[in-house]
């Protein structure tokens, strides 16, 4: 997923996302104050829709689950 289809993004408030996601991002060194926007990437089954995190310094991260374990991938 190197290119994002921005029409498929559904932006949400920071409070609507689970605390588990923020704990995983804290392990990567990203706090809530560094997050600019959060959006769901809507495609496929609901269970496989990753969370796209836009960081204020320009990075874009994809947070998802694979076999009941969370992963964080850098898109940009």
Separation of alpha carbons 44 and 50, rounded Å: 10
Whether residue 34 contacts residue 5, with contact meaning beta carbons closer than 8 Å, is answered with: no
Query: What would the pLDDT profile of 9-27 be if each residue is shown by its tens digit?
Result: 889 988 888 888 899 899 9
Separation of alpha carbons 10 and 24, rounded Å: 21
Separation of alpha carbons 30 and 35, rounded Å: 7
Query: What would the pLDDT profile of 12-70 be if each residue is shown by its tens digit?
Result: 988 888 888 899 899 989 998 999 999 988 876 666 778 899 999 999 999 988 888 88
The pTM for the full model equals 0.81
Whether residue 64 contacts residue 48, with contact meaning beta carbons closer than 8 Å, is answered with: yes
Measured at the CA of 17, the angle between CA 14 and CA 20, to 5 degrees, comes to: 125
């Amino acid at each position: 997923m190197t290119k994002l289809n921005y029409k498929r993004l559904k932006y949400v408030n920071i409070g609507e996302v689970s605390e588990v996601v923020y704990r995983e991002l804290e392990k990567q060194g990203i706090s809530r104050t560094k997050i600019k926007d959060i959006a769901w990437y809507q495609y496929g089954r609901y269970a496989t829709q990753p969370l796209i995190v836009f960081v204020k310094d320009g990075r874009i991260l994809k947070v998802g689950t694979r076999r009941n374990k969370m992963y964080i991938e850098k898109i940009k």
